[in-house]
Amino acid sequence: MLSPNSSSSTKEQGGVWTLADWEAVERRTRARALAANSERAAWLVITKEARAVMRAYTTSFFIVSRFLPAAKRAEVEAVYAAVRYPDEIVDTFPLERPAQLRLLDDWGERYEEGLRASSLHDALRADVPCFLASFTKVVRERGIPPEHYRAFLAAMRRDAAPRPFETLGDLIENYIYGSAVVVGYFLAHVYGASAPHEFARAKASARALGIALQLTNFLRDVGEDQRRGRVYLPQEMLRAEGINAAAPDVWDARQRYALARVLRELANIAESYYLDAERDLDAFDPDCQVAIRACIGVYRRLNERIGRSPEGVMHRESVPAREKFGVLPPSKYWRIPLAYLRK
């Protein structure tokens, strides 16, 4: 799972790319990027494909990211593609655990190779996958600490070998930090701060938003996670509602109302993190604040719908298009159809 990005496992637009699809994109993009006559041209080739990844996998984040300045938007697309593929390894590709871990280990080694490269073309010539070559370019140029992506990959490995989490603190520290908080840090470095001394507050906002988004995704995907043998609901909260924490079952009618209470409690906790993220929003560069506020608005609406849903875990909640538009800035509506027409 990952955030913000993500629909955790099920794609919002219903399109799932196979491993063969990703490999075909890599071959095509690599050939074009290596043939490009400049770093800039190669960057445009790769980020165009990264944009296609985001457009295919997440409606909400794709829409709100259209409100970013073009240069930062391209970097966000590069970040998204670099975190999307590992998530697909553990969530979508029909692979056994050893094969998942081998792919993740190889991806991690290619990341380290990309960090050692001095340019995008150097990374490509060193056989670094295109989406890692573009991402490590962002890491170098934006000063993103390299260990953040290592923490992300560690969280993906935990998805391949899931374990329960005793408390909310355990969940945040040992899973959400790697799956979502560090992704928020990537984006904070891309967005920038309103002033150098405000970057710590921007990071605090990014951390809070990452936790909020991930909790909302957990709540939406309880049933799907159960099918994958994963439980992201804190064990102590399940026990407090009389649920067997070792084997919660969303399909057991006897547990349904108790699970709904757990979801409502976690939705309230997520709301507190959305509030924290919003409080420090002004710490970000003003040219990104509209997009971040739109992201908070869309996902907060999803969190609210989950919290008050009478169907609880038996229904995968979503935000209707009219509600999404209701939290977007009307002056920016024109960007949305343009984004879907742009290739």
- 19-341 fold: Farnesyl Diphosphate Synthase (1.10.600)
Which strand (E) or helix (H) includes residue 103? Answer: helix 97-116
- Is the separation of the CB atoms in 206 and 172 below 8 Å? no
Say what the pLDDT of residue 10 is.
Answer: 37
Residue 116 sits at the vertex; the CA angle it makes with 110 and 118, to the nearest 5 degrees, is: 120
Say what the pLDDT of residue 2 is.
Answer: 43
Contacts of 115 (CB under 8 A, 6+ apart): 136, 139, 140, 146
Per the listing, tokens 């957990």 go with 218
Q: In angstroms, rounded to a whole number, what is the distance separating the alpha carbons of residues 276 and 160?
A: 31
Give me the helices (H) in 221-312, please. 222-227, 235-240, 256-279, 286-308
Helix (H/G/I), strand (E/B), else coil: 246: coil
Helix (H/G/I), strand (E/B), else coil: 77: helix
Could you give the count of Cα atoms lying within 13 Å of 133 in the half-sphere of its Cβ?
A: 26
pTM over 0.85: yes
Say what the pLDDT of residue 339 is.
Answer: 46
Q: In angstroms, rounded to a whole number, what is the distance separating the alpha carbons of residues 84 and 90?
A: 10
Amino acid present at 148: H
- Is the separation of the CB atoms in 13 and 57 below 8 Å? yes
- Is the separation of the CB atoms in 199 and 283 below 8 Å? yes
Say what the pLDDT of residue 189 is.
Answer: 98
Say what the pLDDT of residue 122 is.
Answer: 97
Contacts of 143 (CB under 8 A, 6+ apart): 189
Say what the pLDDT of residue 1 is.
Answer: 39
Q: In angstroms, rounded to a whole number, what is the distance separating the alpha carbons of residues 143 and 68?
A: 20
Q: In angstroms, rounded to a whole number, what is the distance separating the alpha carbons of residues 339 and 65?
A: 10
Q: In angstroms, rounded to a whole number, what is the distance separating the alpha carbons of residues 169 and 182?
A: 16
Neighbours of 251 (CB within 10 A): 11
Helix axes 182-191, 70-91, angle to 10 degrees: 170
Q: In angstroms, rounded to a whole number, what is the distance separating the alpha carbons of residues 138 and 189?
A: 9
Which strand (E) or helix (H) includes residue 98? Answer: helix 97-116
Q: In this structure, what token pair is assigned to residue 238?
A: 């399940």
Say what the pLDDT of residue 156 is.
Answer: 97
Q: In angstroms, rounded to a whole number, what is the distance separating the alpha carbons of residues 61 and 295?
A: 7
Which strand (E) or helix (H) includes residue 169? Answer: helix 168-171
Phi then psi dihedrals of residue 3, to 5 deg = -140, 155
Say what the pLDDT of residue 253 is.
Answer: 81
Q: In this structure, what token pair is assigned to residue 91?
A: 């969530």
Q: In this structure, what token pair is assigned to residue 277?
A: 């993220």
Helix (H/G/I), strand (E/B), else coil: 63: helix
Q: In angstroms, rounded to a whole number, what is the distance separating the alpha carbons of residues 69 and 291?
A: 10
- pLDDT per residue, tens digit, the chain (343 aa), is 344 444 433 344 445 799 999 999 999 999 999 999 999 999 999 999 999 999 999 888 898 898 999 999 999 999 999 999 999 999 999 999 999 999 999 999 999 999 999 999 999 999 999 999 999 999 999 999 999 999 999 999 999 999 999 999 999 999 999 999 999 999 999 999 999 999 999 999 999 999 999 999 999 888 888 888 899 999 999 999 999 887 788 888 888 889 889 999 999 999 999 999 999 999 999 999 999 999 999 899 999 988 887 565 555 666 656 666 566 665 554 344 444 445 5
Per-domain boundaries in the chain? 19-341
